[in-house]
Structure formats: C-alpha cells, structure tokens
A and B are shown apart, each in its own frame.
Chain A
Amino acid sequence: MRPCAVVRQALVMGLDMIAICDHNSAENVASFMGAGSKEGLTVLPGMEVTSKEEIHLLALFNRQEDCMALQDLIYRNLPGENVEEVFGSQTIVNEKDEATGSTRKMLIGATLLPVERIVSVVGSLGGVTIASHIDRQAFSLLGQLGFIPEGMDLDGLEISPRTSEEEARGRFHSYRRFSFVRFSDAHYLEDIGKSFTHFLLEKTTSEEVKKALHRQEGRKVLEQ
C-alpha cells in the first residue's frame, strides 16, 4: 500500500494513530512515518513478527531505529528468498508513493526465534508486544501453543475483526489479566479503520499505549 493513500484513508476514518506492521520487515516504516507527520497522523513503526513456532506477534515502537534494530535481528534469523511469482512482490516505497526497490528476504516465512525470545527483545528495545489475532487458529499464540506460557511478558492480546467483543470476553475469560485490543489488520485501503481500539492516552506514543495496556497512571483501553 502507498503511504499517502494510507494516511489519507486513516484520517478519513477518524483515526489518531496507526502502526505499520509488515511481516518480518520494517523497510517501509520511515516513508509512512514521514507521510503521517506531514498530515498530522501519528504513525508508529512496527512489525508483525513470525516466531519459530509460527506465531504472529505485533511489535510497536516509537523510534524508527528501535524498529530497525529488531529488523536486524529478524533478518539474521529469517531463512529463504522470496519467489515473486508465488508470493507477490515485496515493494519498498518512499513517502511520495513511489516504488524505490524491493526486498529479497522471504517475508512470508517464519524466523528461527522462539516466541519468548522475540517478546523479550521487543521489550528490551522499549517496544510493545501484542499477540496477534488470538481468536484465529492459524498463526496465533493460542492455536500454535494451546495456551499462553507462564511468565510471558506480553503487553496485550489482539482479537481479530471476525470475533465480537462479547464473544471474545467469554472465550478468553481466563486471560482477562491481559488487555484486549482490536485492530483492522488492514491489507487493503478499504479495510483501514474497520476495526480499531479506543485508548485513553496523554499523547499518541507507543509508551503511552504500553501504559494503557497495563492500566497504569490512568491510561487505559476504553470499552467499545
């Protein structure tokens, strides 16, 4: 997707903050952050990382360099080369929506890193870790591992748009110690903002999101 188009659509949908989370890559975050800052939309640099167990984890940061540090680790632990005819192109764009290159890493693949390692690295880089779409069987923490391992330092759990808030509360009652969030996981412009989370924050940063997820200092996730 193109940065200016994404930013415009997010503003049309009334969002204050979005995160760019490509699979196992952050090569496009700078362009989207640039496009966002011109229009007054906060764009957090992020990534959706695939662990060794094929679990998807969202990592959100404030600073681009922290996200790139994660990408360095991911790229060192991500085997394979992309086959464009099969998986499509992996285009890198600038903030004017122009394609400037592509990445050869096989981003659809799984890293060699255990899920706990990813959670701890993201934490040590000051980021936020959220287990993606836990209501789905495919590539989710609960699908792959059956339950959330003891002592895992996750900041929150994401429920996909296909499960309602009420259903999620029932199904995941035993995990209510974690905050639940809902994101659109938009892969196309028209999906942006279809699902979102209301946070009560002082400002739109990943640190504030982290506080809200842990219900600290008055920050919180508001019920829909």
Chain B
Amino acid sequence: MDLPKTGSEQEERNSVLTLSDLVKSFGLKIEAGKDRLHEEVTGGYASDLLSDVIAHSRKGNVWITIQTHPNIVAVATMKELSGIILTGGRQPEAETIQKAEQEGIPILASPLFTFEMVGRLYQIGIAGMSPC
C-alpha cells in the first residue's frame, strides 16, 4: 500500500514556494507587507502562544495563528519568519499592521480556521518540522 506523501517529500518535487504562491493558491487577503511576498517559505508553524512560537519556529517559516496582538510582528521579526497567516477571519489590530509595515513582515488573512489552513498548506508541500 502506498503511504500518502508527507509534506517534505512533496516539497522535494515542488519548486521553491513563496508567500505570493500562497496568496494565489488560497486567495489570502494581504493585510501588510505586500512588497515582501517573494520570500521563500521554508516550512510552517501553527501556534497561538507566542512563547511557544519563539521556542519552536524556524527561520523562513510561515506562522499560522489567531493571535492579532502587535507582539506577533516582533516575534516574527526576531525569528526571521517569512510571514504570518491569520486564520478564522481575524483582523489584525491597527497597530499590528503599522508595525508589520515598518518591519516588513507580511500579514495575510484567511477565513479558514487553523486546522483547515494548515492542511491545505501541507498539501501543496509546506511541511512542519519534527520535534527533536
């Protein structure tokens, strides 16, 4: 029986994915950082606890969260993430957008809930990392 391909196996077959590809594939709304969508997405991390994202996300990851506080931009900057996807139709706060523009961190938004968003990202080849 053939096991389904994991995200990372698929990634090997696919060319490099950028945020711009994600915007096109999933109709994401661009809330901030429209000039920075060419960055390569190295993988994904989903969490709403910022201390957890600081601990476990990797450089170039796209971060999926429902947290909209301005601190998300600082965390993404510090961890050199490629961008943030807000799920469940959440709107970033005005100050969050302003900070994201300043720091050049793209914020994208989707009406999909986190589970569904992550599933679709995985399908096109964006993988997470295994715990070590």
Chain A contacts to B: CB under 8 angstroms: 53, 114-115, 137, 142-147, 149
Residues in A neighbouring B50, C-beta threshold 8 A: 143-147
Q: Cα distance A142–B55 when bound, in Å?
A: 13
Contact A146-B93, Cβ < 8 Å, known A114-B69, A115-B69, A137-B49: no
State how many angstroms separate the Cβ of B72 from the closest Cβ of chain A.
Answer: 9
> Out of A53, A143, A147, which one reaches B74, CB within 8 Å?
A147
Residues in A neighbouring B54, C-beta threshold 8 A: 146
Q: Is the interface of A mostly helix, strand, loop or mixed?
A: loop
Closest B residue to A53 by beta carbon equals B69
Closest B residue to A143 by beta carbon equals B51
Interface assignment of B75: CB less than 8 Å from any CB of chain A: yes
Contact A145-B71, Cβ < 8 Å, known A137-B49, A137-B51: yes
Q: Is the CB of A142 within 8 A of B51?
A: yes
Count of A-B residue pairs with CB < 8 Å:
32
Q: Cα distance A137–B93 when bound, in Å?
A: 24
Interface assignment of B67: CB less than 8 Å from any CB of chain A: yes
Residues in B neighbouring A137, C-beta threshold 8 A: 49, 51
State how many angstroms separate the Cβ of B94 from the closest Cβ of chain A.
Answer: 11
State how many angstroms separate the Cβ of B116 from the closest Cβ of chain A.
Answer: 22
Q: Is the CB of A143 within 8 A of B49?
A: yes
Q: Cα distance A3–B101 when bound, in Å?
A: 52
Residues in A neighbouring B74, C-beta threshold 8 A: 146-147
Residues in B neighbouring A145, C-beta threshold 8 A: 50, 69, 71
Q: Cα distance A143–B50 when bound, in Å?
A: 6
7 closest pairs, A vs B, by CB?
Answer: A146-B50, A145-B71, A146-B51, A143-B51, A146-B54, A145-B50, A53-B69
Q: Cα distance A147–B51 when bound, in Å?
A: 8
Interface assignment of B70: CB less than 8 Å from any CB of chain A: yes
> Interface residue count for B (Cβ, 8 Å)?
13
Q: Cα distance A142–B54 when bound, in Å?
A: 11
State how many angstroms separate the Cβ of A37 from the closest Cβ of chain B.
Answer: 40
Contact A53-B67, Cβ < 8 Å, known A114-B93, A147-B74: yes
Closest A residue to B78 by beta carbon equals A146
Interface assignment of B53: CB less than 8 Å from any CB of chain A: yes
Q: Cα distance A147–B74 when bound, in Å?
A: 10
Q: Cα distance A149–B67 when bound, in Å?
A: 14
Q: Cα distance A166–B51 when bound, in Å?
A: 22
Residues in A neighbouring B69, C-beta threshold 8 A: 53, 114-115, 145, 149
Q: Cα distance A78–B74 when bound, in Å?
A: 28
Residues 1-44 of B, flagged 1 when their CB comes within 8 A of A and 0 if not, give 00000000000000000000000000000000000000000000
The 25 listed contacts between A and B (C-beta, < 8 Å) are A53-B67, A114-B69, A114-B93, A115-B69, A137-B49, A137-B51, A142-B51, A143-B49, A143-B50, A144-B48, A144-B50, A144-B67, A145-B50, A145-B69, A145-B71, A146-B50, A146-B51, A146-B53, A146-B54, A146-B74, A146-B75, A147-B50, A147-B74, A149-B69, A149-B70
State how many angstroms separate the Cβ of A53 from the closest Cβ of chain B.
Answer: 5
Closest B residue to A149 by beta carbon equals B71
Interface residues of B in 71-116 (CB under 8 A from A): 71, 74-75, 93
Closest B residue to A54 by beta carbon equals B48
Closest B residue to A55 by beta carbon equals B69
Q: Cα distance A142–B50 when bound, in Å?
A: 8
